[in-house]
Structure 1
């Protein structure tokens, strides 16, 4: 199963990408939709929201008055945290149920507006960020949603800034023009990267070596070594450690607002050190599950301690992961 985390700031175009990925065959788990279901009339979630914020967040028909609640939480960080504490556990529980029902060879897209804010990036094979400059998003909210400028600016300020969101991206879909361009970029990402990644992962094989042409969906990425370390660390058993080494092409961890000063590094070699008590086989299985299948070069214990060689199933990357046994402490 290929797990994709899809995110983007308000009015960036994430919903359009989510719908298109669903049409292309992905299993889409929409956090916004699940959040709405969590506070339907008569639900325990709605009862908790009313208890936390008062009956003024209810409409005349007893349903949640979302604009009224929005005015409260987007102007008050502590109120937003209280709301998240009610909604997020319910959303995650229902998302887990839906993912558990998906086929083993599915592409599962979790559409999560606050993916970065809630620290979930490292649990996905790919994080796809739909991006647009802040001023473009403000104009969309004013023109398409009828918001006042101040309200639109507060909505943007309540989410992670663009540089923070972009630093977690494995792929960026820039939506600063029209929907036609966004749809074309999404289709190219699906055909050129997502489908081959899914197929490689399902077959337990690394991607073919890159031939010098960057596949779709790389523009805007930065900090490959940092992102690899986070993904592998999240997947590995306790006691195993990630040791990045040369070729990561590390870039600054921030991206300037409104610029294209990105680093598109695609190559890295990473060593995973495993205590003998953990066992390299356990770590090797975890590395494969994180998107780096074992290769034909894998071997038993060698002079440098390497017992397994893994490579990325993602066709956009040229990444090798070496699993080695750590020396026993003296």
Structure 2
């Protein structure tokens, strides 16, 4: 490893007849070696004497740092270990190279017909998702006359609600576990449900809705990832509603995925009330996340 620290030198290709000595070869390659040699910790980084602007070093467990003597972070007092001062007092800062810590977009998708739904929510009124009664499996709508009848079934392309919900309170919801598709520590940006109505003469008075929640077994608590709790289908015409379309819920709270403490679910509420019909079809979910260093 070289004993001088500076930006990498260019490698000059010699002409015929030129004499090449050790310096011609060692100087540029030493700079390249220094840039990629692994330092044990940040203490070894800050121990480098008289670092210069643009100098890059790699620290185990963190990635590449670049030393800057000008710009936004050159005099930052941000906490260790993201921005560090030189140990010998050289003006400037060691800054974790954010290009090596870039956020990547991650997409996960699964079919609603994959057999994932295993529960129903028991609710007091439409779109009330405050219950934690996520029992599974549940095959009825909790009324005496209907307790033994299945409330959902799948075909190879989709899952659908087989019955008509004509009341103003809807007891049939589908619960889709999401943990298998999540990344620990990622940010969940949005959850999209592709769906389609069937054979409507008018739009249902109560449109389908989507909620995304996290359940914490430790204290039996339920928290929404949307401040408004649920998002209704916004289709404005019969043609749009009965064609394949999507409800896209953009998460605006509790977005950091923590599967050590929580389980995550999408909750789908059926259409209901006036003009409601059976056969609402649910095709697939698409989850969009961002995560550091995921490629």
TM-score (normalizing by structure 1): 0.22
Higher-Rg structure is 2
Is the strand fraction higher in 1 or 2? 2
Tell me the TM-score normalized by structure 2.
0.24
Task: Looking at secondary structure, tell me which structure has more helix per residue.
Answer: 1
